[in-house]
Structure 1
Amino acid sequence: MPILNQGRVPSLLFVPGDRPERFGKALSSGARAVIVDLEDAVAPGAKEHARTVVSSWASAGHPVMLRVNGIGTPWFADDLALRELPGIAGMVLPKTESADDIAQVTRGGGRHIDVYPLIETAAGMSNIREIASTSGVKRLLFGTLDFQVDMNIDGDAEELDAFRASLVLASKVAGIGAPIDGVTPAIDDSERLVRDALNSKRRGFAGKLCIHPKQVSIVNEVFEPSPAELDWARRVLAVVAESRDAVVSMDGKMVDRPVVLKAEQILATIRGDR
């Protein structure tokens, strides 16, 4: 499953856990990973039904991630038991606030399971480095909407950029994959979605959470290297290969090691080194 690797993972699509008729559409949407959601997308009275649906549908043939209900809710323990199902490739843990929260997901299971903590509270953000460095954590996800509410912040653009920087820095220091940014709730506003995705990309995020299949192709296009970026990267490596270790320039700019590393990163995305 692409999200289990290290590079860009443009789109992660949520699908309600009690709507099996939508599962196939989500898997064919072009999203790099599908998150079957047992939390926000499922009403309290439908939680048990959703678990039954997931249990009967889960298969190694279509790996997905699973967002469980939070620690402290009456549904967490039963949701957690689904980690043993074939095809559950990772657990998304809402409102993660500590390393102990991660341990409650990883300990006692019959097999290793990757954890994707959703950072949605002030407490979680305060402990971000501890969380990122905890065994079992694969990537951090930014739950922007809940975080706004918890912090009483009005706006999810530049108002959250300082916190976005914290997630990127913590991920880099911990040696895990770059984080995934939160959703754009305006499903029909493609211009807003492009702006949000570009902001995420510029700030070091690997991808973005999506709440509708129509968002997937737009997010993928923003995060994938453009033809111009690929052409630039190939020219950089060609110039360096021909230089025989001499100092070189291209387009009037010196080509030093950081430039070469950037070119290699861009080309790695199309080789599948994600």
Structure 2
Amino acid sequence: MSTVHALRGPALLFCPGNRPERFAKAAAAADTVILDLEDAVGPDGKDAARDAVVAALSELDPAATLVRINAPGSRWHDDDVAALAAHPDVAVMLPMATRAGDVTALAPRPVVALCETARGVLAAPEIADAPNCTGLMWGSEDLVADLGGRPGRAPGGGYRPAVEQARTRILYAARAAGITPVDTVLVAIDDLDTLRLDSAAAVASGYAAKACIHPKQVTVVREAFLPTDDEVADAREVLAAAGEHAGGVFRLHGRMIDAPVLAHAREVLRQAGADDPHASEAVT
């Protein structure tokens, strides 16, 4: 289980590495900014983007910054890694991760592994168990291309079964390893309705964060991940009732309250930024 670099969420925002004038604004807009040296930058701009990102790192909060480097085996990967040597506390996002060795090769630097191929999805449990892996994300667009399928969206919303299976596998692998699961981006920037549905599904499944490609998506993601007032009130009531019992299972409004229910209530309050006033008394 990884113990490195607690990834800040729920909204992660990609920012092109060749647009340094946007770095500070993107960092201010999101919970974590991802300075992108990979897909957002063409081959002729890689060196300049790398220089710009490295120059900006001393001005950004390392706990809220990721750098997406180029994939292992690409001609830019080693130069990206070498350029970041002066900033060992900055975590990287590793695209096209297909094996645990891709992650451990960067140790002790914290890594968010991006699984976006069939091989990467199948290897997700082993990748997540790498000691310096702090998060696991899946990439829908590259995955669909790798599978050779048609667009991965289902006609009624959500994803087609083969793609949804990958989404679930990444979630299980991350949670089993005790690291942060990050849901994929939605490339339709202006389709905020679909983004709300995707974000709600991610929250309901157990994802802790979602990646964005435009600042307008950040607010939608944050709202989806924030518990409702009713959920917070219910969590408070459950934990307050637990404080009045000596231990074990009890009944509240016809519902059985046990350790998993209490754990969920505490997580709701954590997500809402609220304290559990009965934490020391609650049943565990």
TM-score by length of 1: 0.89
Q: Is contact 1:164–1:203 with CA below 8 Å preserved after alignment?
A: no
CA distance change for structure 1 residues 246 and 199 in 2, over 3 Å: closer, same or farther? closer
For 2:188 and 2:10, how far apart are their aligned partners in 1? 18
1:206 CA displacement: 0.8
* Structure 2 equivalent of residue 223 of structure 1: 225
Q: Determine helix, strand or coil for the equivalent of 2:207.
A: coil
Match of 2:116 among 120, 123, 126: 120
For 1:218 and 1:158, how far apart are their aligned partners in 2? 19
For 1:105 and 1:4, how far apart are their aligned partners in 2? 14
* Structure 2 equivalent of residue 100 of structure 1: 101
1:143 CA displacement: 1.0
Amino acid aligned to 2:172 = L
Match of 1:148 among 119, 144, 163: 144
For 2:248 and 2:206, how far apart are their aligned partners in 1? 31
Amino acid aligned to 2:49 = A
Q: Determine helix, strand or coil for the equivalent of 1:116.
A: strand
For 2:123 and 2:195, how far apart are their aligned partners in 1? 29
Q: Give the percent of matched residue pairs that are identical in Structure 1 and Structure 2.
A: 38
For 2:248 and 2:122, how far apart are their aligned partners in 1? 46
Amino acid aligned to 2:98 = E
Q: Determine helix, strand or coil for the equivalent of 1:158.
A: coil
Q: Is contact 2:248–2:258 with CA below 8 Å preserved after alignment?
A: no
Output one character per residue of 1:143-179: Cα deviation in whole Å (capped at 9) or x when no partner: 11101111123324332222222112112222223x1
Q: Is contact 1:132–1:170 with CA below 8 Å preserved after alignment?
A: yes
Q: Determine helix, strand or coil for the equivalent of 1:249.
A: strand
Moved over 4 A (4+): none
For 1:219 and 1:165, how far apart are their aligned partners in 2? 19
TM-score by length of 2: 0.86
CA distance change for structure 1 residues 87 and 57 in 2, over 3 Å: closer, same or farther? farther
Output one character per residue of 1:81-137: Cα deviation in whole Å (capped at 9) or x when no partner: 13323386211110000112113322xxxxx31001100001111111111111210
- Count of aligned positions: 263
For 1:209 and 1:266, how far apart are their aligned partners in 2? 21
1:77 CA displacement: 0.8
| CA RMSD, Structure 1 to Structure 2 (Å) | 2.0
Q: Is contact 2:54–2:84 with CA below 8 Å preserved after alignment?
A: no
Amino acid aligned to 1:155 = G
Q: Determine helix, strand or coil for the equivalent of 1:202.
A: helix
CA distance change for structure 1 residues 43 and 88 in 2, over 3 Å: closer, same or farther? farther
For 2:148 and 2:60, how far apart are their aligned partners in 1? 42
The more displaced of 206-215 and 96-105 is 96-105
Q: Is contact 1:116–1:140 with CA below 8 Å preserved after alignment?
A: yes
* Structure 2 equivalent of residue 109 of structure 1: none
Match of 2:168 among 159, 165, 168: 165
Higher RCO (CA-CA < 8 Å; seq separation 6+) = 1
For 2:88 and 2:221, how far apart are their aligned partners in 1? 25
1:248 CA displacement: 2.9
The more displaced of 80-89 and 168-177 is 80-89
Q: Is contact 1:58–1:85 with CA below 8 Å preserved after alignment?
A: no
Matches within 5 A, 1:1-274: 4-5=5-6, 9-29=9-29, 31-59=30-58, 61-63=60-62, 64-86=65-87, 89-106=90-107, 112-153=108-149, 154-156=151-153, 157-159=158-160, 160-177=163-180, 179-245=181-247, 247-271=249-273
Output one character per residue of 1:250-273: Cα deviation in whole Å (capped at 9) or x when no partner: 232121221111101111234489
1:16 CA displacement: 0.3
For 1:105 and 1:212, how far apart are their aligned partners in 2? 28
Gaps in structure 2 of 5+ consecutive residues? 276-284
Q: Determine helix, strand or coil for the equivalent of 1:138.
A: strand
1:61 CA displacement: 4.3
For 1:114 and 1:14, how far apart are their aligned partners in 2? 18
